[in-house]
């Protein structure tokens, strides 16, 4: 009868439900390739300390590559007792290379192995995630560059505030993503710390060269403490937190666009490619893509909160609770990547209704500019704010716009008003006055575009 890898000290059989409960292969098999890479490097390190002969190392490497080939071809035959990707690969290796396979795990534990695999796997995925994020930012920047002429109201409290450029709004979201890009890149050195050679917990007794292992596998540094090496999952927590934050940015952008796509706003229309209909109401075109992006952010946050709960209170080093790191991490990687792609598609294809945006610009959004007009004539802002407020109230009582009040009206409000007050009531001029860094003027929008392009080109 077949033996479990760890079966030596056991006489009783595993309960079938427990067997299934314990088994992680159905989800951790996606680490098959990094698991093999780690084993090849480890075999080499065993060769360097004389545990394996040179021929054995070669044979082991060939065997491991053959196992990987089976995964790649989809011919790897999973067996009932394959508990996880590590036991499955080792079992298959031994079938291919015979008893030599039994030497691979010398001084190694699944504890340092799984931690190594997770880090290697995440390092590879981070590159994909980064590419997806860059793709999204790029589309936003290109769109902003093309639509600089489009003016719209900027909102606070979802109430019309001041005129801005549509590009300025788009770029505001792009800057959130640019800081996510920076944060993601900063995670890499903390992911790239090598646990292999930590053993089960107490380090490696065969003095394998861990610096060599790190170099072989592309790690930046070596875990300096073996207990920490097998027990640390902060790199996963950090990625999950990063995912929660970037999804929060996706969600806030989605919310803006959902509101703008309502008939009441009518600022944008999503392309059919990213909308769905109603099974009952024939007229409906719903922004499901954006709603899913907003919805996913909750789930991604949940992955992070759930896993931090798993970690909290764990005793030192490896505990099986840590097997629960995989599904939230895999799920977050998959959904964040998908979200970047969908967001990119939504942004690239949506229709902007510039005339609708323009017509939402009521004259009252220039009330600040009206106050600023008097400031330029030497009146303190606190006073001009009040005067402008009275102009708004007067226009409201007359059911007209502040631009329709007469010069006499204005002069009764303040003696510094002259003929040129009419120049205030120009949205383009208002936006163009904002020439300080960060403003919505054409020049400053161009500057933002240049800054973001530089960020994208950096690496």
> C-beta of 230: minimal distance to ligand ARG in Å?
9
CB of 103 to ligand ARG, least distance (A): 19
DSSP at 207: -
- Minimum Å distance from CB 91 to ligand ARG? 14
Please tell me the number of Cα atoms within 13 Å of 266 on its side-chain side.
8
> For binding to ligand ARG (CB under 6 A), which residues are involved?
24, 28, 84, 86, 110-111, 114, 318, 320, 322-323
Q: Residue 30 has what DSSP assignment? A: G
Residue nearer to ligand ARG on the CB measure, 326 or 385: 326
- Which one, 83 or 344, has the nearer CB to ligand ARG? 83
Q: How far is the CB of 122 from ligand ARG (least distance, A)?
A: 14
**Active-site residue (options: 157, 176, 403, 430):** 157
Cα–Cα distance for residue pair 279/85, rounded to 1 Å = 43
CB of 24 to ligand ARG, least distance (A): 4
Beta carbon of residue 327, minimum distance to ligand ARG (angstroms, whole number): 10
d(CA 213, CA 48): 11
- Token digits of residue 330: 């895999």
Cα gap 11→449, rounded to integer Å? 68
- Whichever of 226 and 246 has its CB closer to ligand ARG, that residue is 226
Give the contacts of 153 (CB within 8 A, at least 6 positions apart).
160, 161, 162, 163, 164, 357, 360, 361, 362, 365
Identify which of residues 319 and 349 has a Cβ nearer to ligand ARG in the complex: 319
Place of tokens 């409960």: 21
- The answer to whether 118 and 236 are in contact (CB under 8 A) is yes
Six-digit token pair at 147?
């639509």
Q: How many C-beta atoms lie closer than 10 Å to residue 87's C-beta?
A: 19
**How near is the Cβ of 71 to ligand ARG at its closest, in Å?**
17
Whole-angstrom distance, CA of residue 369 vs CA of residue 385: 10
Q: How far apart are CA 241 and CA 18, in angstroms?
A: 32
Q: Which are the contacts of 94, defined by CB distance < 8 A and separation ≥ 6? A: 100, 101, 102
Handedness of CA 377, 380, 381, 385 (dihedral sign): negative
- Neighbouring CB atoms inside 10 A of 268's CB total 21
Count of residues in the chain? 459
The answer to whether residue 94 is catalytic is: no
412's CB contacts (< 8 A; 6+ apart) are none
Q: For ligand ARG, which is the closer residue by CB, 24 or 162?
A: 24
Nearer to ligand ARG, 66 or 201 (CB): 201
**Matching residue, tokens 């190694």:** 108
Annotation marks residue 278 as catalytic: yes
SS3 286: strand
Give the shortest CB-46-to-ligand ARG separation in angstroms. 20
Nearer to ligand ARG, 78 or 407 (CB): 78
Q: Which of 278, 316, 337, 354 is catalytic?
A: 278
- Whichever of 30 and 183 has its CB closer to ligand ARG, that residue is 30
Our measurement of the distance from residue 62's CA atom to the centroid of its chain's CA atoms, rounded to an integer in Å, reads 37
Q: What is the CA radius of gyration of the chain?
A: 31
Q: How far apart are the first and last CA of the chain?
A: 55
How far, in Å, CA of 17 to CA of 3, rounded? 18
- Tell me which residues are annotated as active site: 157, 278
């Amino acid at each position: 009868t077949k033996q479990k890898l760890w079966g030596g000290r056991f006489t009783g059989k595993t309960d079938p439900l427990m067997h299934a409960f314990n088994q992680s292969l159905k989800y951790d098999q996606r680490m098959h390739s990094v698991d093999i890479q780690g084993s090849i490097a480890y075999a080499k390190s065993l060769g360097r300390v004389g545990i394996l002969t040179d021929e054995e190392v070669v044979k082991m490497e060939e065997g491991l590559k053959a196992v990987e080939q089976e995964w790649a071809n989809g011919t790897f035959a999973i067996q009932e007792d394959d508990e996880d990707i590590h036991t499955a690969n080792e079992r298959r290796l031994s079938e291919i290379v015979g008893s030599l396979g039994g030497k691979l795990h010398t001084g190694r534990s699944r504890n340092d192995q799984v931690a190594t695999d997770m880090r290697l796997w995440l390092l590879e995925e981070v590159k994909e995630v980064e590419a997806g994020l860059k793709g999204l930012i790029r589309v936003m920047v290109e769109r902003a560059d093309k639509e600089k002429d489009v003016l719209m109201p900027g909102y606070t409290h979802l109430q019309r505030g001041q005129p801005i450029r549509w590009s300025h709004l788009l770029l505001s979201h792009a800057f959130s993503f640019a800081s996510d890009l920076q944060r993601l890149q900063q995670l890499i050195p903390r992911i790239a710390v090598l646990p292999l050679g930590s053993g089960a917990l107490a380090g490696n007794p065969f003095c394998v060269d861990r610096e060599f292992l790190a170099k072989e596998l592309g790690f930046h540094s070596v875990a300096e403490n073996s207990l920490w090496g097998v027990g640390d999952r902060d790199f996963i927590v950090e990625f999950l937190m990063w995912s929660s934050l970037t999804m929060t940015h996706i969600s806030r952008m989605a919310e803006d666009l959902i509101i703008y796509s309502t008939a009441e706003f009518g600022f944008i229309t999503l392309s059919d490619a990213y909308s769905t209909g109603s099974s009952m109401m024939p007229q409906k075109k719903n922004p499901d893509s954006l709603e899913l992006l907003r919805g996913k952010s909750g789930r991604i946050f949940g992955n992070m909160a759930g896993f931090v709960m798993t970690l909290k209170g764990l005793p030192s080093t490896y505990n099986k609770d840590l097997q629960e790191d995989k599904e939230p991490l895999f799920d977050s990687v998959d959904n964040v990547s998908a979200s970047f792609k969908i967001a990119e598609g939504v942004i690239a294809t949506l229709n902007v209704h510039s005339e609708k945006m323009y017509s939402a610009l009521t004259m009252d959004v220039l009330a600040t500019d009206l106050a600023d007009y008097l400031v330029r004539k030497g009146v303190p802002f606190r006073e001009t704010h009040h005067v402008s407020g009275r102009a708004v109230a007067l226009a409201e009582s007359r059911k007209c716009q502040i631009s329709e009040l007469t010069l006499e009206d204005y002069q009764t409000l303040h003696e510094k008003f002259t003929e040129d007050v009419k120049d205030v009531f120009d949205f383009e001029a208002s936006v163009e006055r904002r020439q300080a860094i960060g403003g919505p003027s054409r020049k400053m929008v161009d500057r933002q575009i240049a800054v973001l392009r530089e960020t994208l080109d950096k690496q």
